Structure 1
Amino acid sequence: MAGQDCVQVLLLLLASTLLPHGASGQRVKVEPEVLSYPGQTVNLRCAFTDTTGIQLTMVTWIYEPKEGERMNIAVLHPVFEPNYPDSPLKGRVSFMQSPPNMDGPSIQISDVRMTDEGKYICEFASYPSGHEQGVTQLVMLTKPQNSASPLTVEAGPKPMVVARCESLNGRPAAQIRWVTTANGNATTSSKPGQDNTVSVTSEYRLAPAAADNGKDISCLVSHRTQTSPESFQMKLKVLYAPQVAIVGYDNNWYVGRTNVLLTCQASGNPVPTTVLWKSMTGEMPDTVQIKDNQLKVLKVDEAVNTTFVCEVKNRVGTGRDQVTALVREPSVNPSNVGVVAGAVIGSLLALLLVAALVAVLVTRSRRQQQGYRANGGSDLKARIFGGGKKASKNGTGGAGNNNGPIYDGSAHQGEKNNHGPLTIGGRPEVAAGTPTAQDILLSSELDDAERRKFDELEEEERYDHFSGGAPILQLRPPNEQDEMIGDYLDDDMESQRDGSVISRTAVYV
């Protein structure tokens, strides 16, 4: 009985080898790719979808590594027990169902290793169609160890590695790219790592310059085990000698100028440690003070008409800068311009104050003169036009007038002449009924316009209207001579600035 079964199996195998394969894989369903990490258990599924009119005689799982020969790892026969030939997977591979099913002979591999990666072929031997198969790619994943760092370099003309990015022991190989504004390029290499992994290294190269120091550079690592690229942000580290610049010279150093300042600005990597000021003429002038990176000239003179040099050092090298000071003669008085301006403004204000004071005094003097004329004119008007005091014998005499006649009323001082003018010491007196020029001018009946015209006349023009050098005295009418006391009334006299005394009512001709 057993011998017949063996013969039948051999016949079926022979028939399958002689029959064409037909449309291979059309009815064998597998997963095209399976991902797994080391140490996990992976399931490789396989199924024959339509067995109508077909007799499945045997199923074989074949392992095809990336490098090396194909090998059978599991065989299933409808009559015999499952068989697991010798292979690197023996003891870790098995059919998922128990007992196995010919229509769905899926297998599982436990404790998978990186070396288990490769193609796994599920192949059916059938009658009468022959062999049909499906292929599954097992991809082993290992998350790499990613890192990146800048390299400290010195500035120079030759290209060199300024940053490095690595993805070690990953499966599959990682992808690395760079993002930076630096003008360089990247080189990438890979090599086998531990347990069938791959290590990838990328280096960024450029000819480093001082301007590249501190520039941003980023390394981005992409891998199948990551949902998004891993980014490493860095700054370039370029060492360079100090770069020096002297600032503060304005090309306006004139003799006598004080407290001018020069500053030595320097940048470098590493930070400069030494700043040294020198003078091209040798010794530093006495008026110069130095503190750290600053040079201060207390007072500019011919001694600072030199070239100042600033030297700055760090461990990479030395940088220097120089400035030549040209001492000039002062173009203007070096005194404070503000003081001069203040003096000018003060002088103008003083002149304005004096002018205002003079104007006030002149105005006040005119007002006093106008007031005096107004006060004297009322009495004169009364005397001229009959408003004054009359003789007591008329019975109509008014009140006494302090501005009385300017002559003494005693009998021996003059003679009364009813037929002619009165005389005093041989001089004729103006008739009592006739007003004098002074009376008319001092009369309050003059309007303001005429009074202003008279005031505006020059002193000499006033007296040109009269002839003779001696004053003509205004005399009282004969009927008022009796009221006179003395030669002149005391209240009629007025003191002058030159020490003289004149009458207020006298008219000079």
Structure 2
Amino acid sequence: MRCQFPNPGDTQLTQVIWIFERTDTERSNIAVFHPSYGVSYPSTSPLSGRVSFMTNPPPLYNPSIQIKDVKMTDEGRYICEYASYPSGNEQGISLLVMLAKPRNTARSVSVTASKTPVVVAHCESFGGRPAAAISWSTALNGNVSTPVMTNTQDNTVNVQSTYMLAPQAEDNGKDISCTVTHRTMSQPEVFQMKLVVEYPPVVQIRGYDNNWYKGRTSAFLICQADGNPVPTTVTWKTLSGLMPETVQVQENRLAVQNVDDTINTTFICEVRNSLGYGRDQVTIVVKEQAPPNTNAGVIVGVIFACLLVVLLIGGLTYFLISHNRRQQHGYRGTGKPTGTPYDSITRLFGSAKSSKNGTGNNGNNNTPIYRGEVGINEKSANQGMHPGGMALLETTHTHTAEDILLSREMDEVERKKFDELEEEDERYDHFTGGGPILQLRPHDDDIDDDMESQRDGSVISRTAVYV
């Protein structure tokens, strides 16, 4: 404790006394210094043997003291008082505050379910200075008791708090927490707890679905029980006192191998623990026959299958219509057919000169034609004239492997011709007339230039035909 009298001036300092004041009514001298008589430490002081001046002897203008082995009882006011002349006594006061970190504990209390509120949890703080603060956190509908504080001989404080509740069976195992806050702790101390509520068994029988009929097999009842302490005994009974022969008891499970008229009874399940017992019962009504099976599943399956078939038919129809339209449009810009394959094996033959002279086209573009290859002799023998002016051709020649290979060599040449005519093809692709159009594109050269000799002596036309 520091004490100074700076710049005394004309004031004469004659003596200094340290006084300890624990309460307003309890004062004692703990250290005295007189320049002529020296230092004195009264033996009756509560700090005797633990207090001393910083220097020995101390200067009158700075008689500071020190205390060792500080105790909680050392808390109080320390007064440094000067005896001076001519002003009289002068004093300065220092306040010593002692802090003590408490020891905190919490615990739940095992209780029995009841309608009367009882203490279900304790929370305590021991030896704190100043007193600790205690709070509770829980979803339970209970009450916190008024904290009790007691002072100890070493000037610390004990705080006790309890939580009260009318415990029910459903409260067992629920969470509750206690929080202790104190000035000496960097953060509050939290205690997590679970309530312990003991109660007799609560019993319920499950498994009966109101559909027990004669001849039914593998029917069963389950006795479900909940209690604290854990139930130890399960007993099955019937209201008549006799257990049917077709029934097997397996602890909490009652199995019926075959349902008959003897099952028309009331089954009772009793469960016990150390606090008592609980029971439940169910009355079985056996029906004469099983309920009719519903065809809901079959109907749903049939509907689903019909929808699937409709979707498949719709998709197939769309594909066929689209395919047919591509066949009617004929060749695209790629030079390959979109419908029926077209290659050098199958060609279209027509009279180029007739087209040039105007005798081969009388305005009827719907004239049928026959695909094939004919020789020169066959042409003169078999060619007839359609009323529309277009030659009707029949195929009488049987193609050989050599013919096919030679004719395929012409594919690339024809594809290139179709590529050059791509823009003009669009007009025929988008034709919207009343029927299919047969359009012959004659070469600018004579018919002889249009014909192409084959290895078998026949000739074919290289004229492109569009439909």
TM-score by length of 1: 0.53
> What residue is the counterpart of 2:109 in the other structure?
151
Distance change (3 Å), C-alpha of 1:50 and 1:300:
farther
Q: What does the per-residue CA deviation read over 1:41-96, in whole Å, with 9 as the maximum and x for residues that have no partner?
A: xxx22334554565444332111113752122122344542332342222221111
Q: Which residue of 1 aligns with 2:169?
A: 210
Secondary structure of 1:303's counterpart equals helix
Counterpart amino acid of 1:168? F
CA distance in 2, matches of 1:136, 1:85: 20
- Within a 5 Å distance, the mapping from 1:161-240 to structure 2 comes to 161-187=119-145, 188-240=147-199
- Cα deviation, residue 239, structure 1: 0.4
Q: Matched residues in 1 for 2:133 and 2:259: separation?
A: 67
Q: CA deviation at 1:126?
A: 4.3
1:261 to 1:156, Cα distance in 2 relative to 1, 3 A: same
Q: Give, in whole Å, the separation in 1 of the partners of 2:125 and 2:227.
A: 34
1:47 aligns with 2:47: no
Asked if the contact 1:55–1:128 (Cα under 8 Å) also holds between the matched residues in 2, the reply is yes
Is 2:285 the counterpart of 1:319? no
Match of 1:308 in 2: 267
Give the whole-Å Cα distance in 2 for the aligned partners of 1:249 and 1:180.
39
Alignment partners' CA distance in 2, 1:260 and 1:313: 25
Worse-matched range after superposition: 44-53 or 71-80: 44-53
Q: CA deviation at 1:320?
A: 1.2
Are 1:298 and 2:257 an aligned pair?
A: yes
Tell me, in whole angstroms, the C-alpha distance in 1 between the residues paired with 2:6 and 2:234: 87
- Check 1:207–1:105 CA distance in 2 against 1; reply closer, same or farther (3 A cut): same
Give how far 1:199 is off. 2.5
> Following the alignment from structure 1 to structure 2, what is the Cα–Cα distance between the partners of residues 255 and 194?
83
- What are the Cα deviations for residues 321-340 of structure 1, in whole angstroms up to 9, with x where unaligned? 1112122222546xx989xx
Contact 1:247 1:263 in 2 (8 A): yes
Aligned counterparts, 1:75-474, within 5 A: 75-86=32-43, 87-127=45-85, 129-187=87-145, 188-330=147-289, 332=291
User: How far, CA to CA, are the matches of 2:94 and 2:199 in structure 1?
Assistant: 58
Q: Secondary structure at the match of 2:154?
A: helix
Distance 1:311 1:237 in 2: 24
Between stretches 123-132 and 162-171, larger displacement belongs to: 123-132
Number of equivalenced pairs: 297
Give, as a single letter, the amino acid of the residue that structure 2 aligns with 1:106: S
CA distance in 2, matches of 1:242, 1:194: 50
Q: Identity over the aligned pairs, expressed in percent?
A: 59
Pair 1:96–1:131, CA change in 2 (3 A): same
Contact 2:198 2:228 in 1 (8 A): yes
Say whether the 8 Å CA contact 1:169–1:194 is kept in structure 2: no
In structure 2, the residue matched to 1:488 is: none
Distance 2:82 2:208 in 1: 94
The 1:82/1:247 distance shift into structure 2, 3 A limit, reads same
Between the aligned partners of 2:81 and 2:138, the Cα distance in structure 1 is 52
Instruction: Give the whole-Å Cα distance in 2 for the aligned partners of 1:183 and 1:67.
Output: 46
1:169–1:121 distance in 2 versus 1, CA, 3 Å: same
Contact 1:168/1:193 (8 A) holds in 2: no
Give the Cα separation in 2 of the matches to 1:178 and 1:48.
Answer: 52
Give yes or no for contact 1:96–1:108 (8 Å, CA) kept in 2.
yes
Distance in 2, Cα, partners of 1:294 & 1:119: 77
SS in structure 2 opposite 1:140?
Answer: coil
Query: Which deviates further from its counterpart, 65-74 or 47-56?
Result: 47-56
Q: Check the 8 A contact 1:310/1:321 in 2, yes or no.
A: yes
- For 1:85, give the aligned amino acid: P
Does structure 2 conserve the Cα–Cα contact (< 8 Å) formed by 1:254 and 1:329? yes
Q: For residues 332 and 186 of structure 1, do their structure 2 counterparts lie closer, same or farther at Cα, with a shift above 3 Å needed?
A: closer
Determine if the alignment matches structure 1 residue 70 to structure 2 residue 27: yes
Question: Residue 194 of structure 1: CA displacement?
Answer: 4.9
Change over 3 Å in CA distance of 1:152–1:170 after alignment to 2 = same
Give the distance between the partners of 2:165 and 2:87, measured in 1 at CA.
65
Match runs of 1:490-501 below 5 Å: none
**Which residue identity does 1:60 align to in structure 2?**
I
Does structure 1 conserve the Cα–Cα contact (< 8 Å) formed by 2:39 and 2:57?
no
**Cα deviations by residue, 1:457-481 (Å, 9 ceiling, x for unpaired):** xxxxxxxxxxxxxxxxxxxxxxxxx
Distance, in Å, in 1 between the alignment partners of 2:228 and 2:10 is 84
Separation in 1, partners of 2:5, 2:226: 76
Rounded Cα–Cα distance in structure 2 between residues aligned with 1:67 and 1:204: 38
Q: Distance in 1 between matches of 2:129 and 2:277?
A: 50
Q: Distance in 2 between matches of 1:316 and 1:148?
A: 27
CA offsets, 1:1-45, max 9 Å, x none?
Answer: xxxxxxxxxxxxxxxxxxxxxxxxxxxxxxxxxxxxxxxxxxx22
Indicate how the Cα distance of structure 1 residues 305 and 114 shifts in structure 2: closer, same or farther if over 3 A, else same. same
5+ long unaligned stretches in structure 1: 1-43, 346-509
Q: Which amino acid aligns with 2:132?
A: A
Paired residue type of 1:208: P
The answer on whether the counterparts of 2:214 and 2:290 sit within 8 Å (CA) in structure 1 is no
Q: Which of 81-90 and 155-164 deviates more?
A: 81-90
The alignment's C-alpha RMSD in Å is 2.8
Query: For residues 300-321 of structure 1, what are the alpha-carbon distances to aligned partners after superposition, in whole Å with 9 as ceiling and x for unaligned?
Result: 2221112111111110111111
Q: Residue 256 of structure 2: SS of its match in structure 1? A: strand
Q: Distance in 1 between matches of 2:37 and 2:124?
A: 53
How far apart, CA to CA, are the structure 2 residues paired with 1:102 and 1:50?
A: 12
Offset at residue 246 of structure 1 (A): 1.3
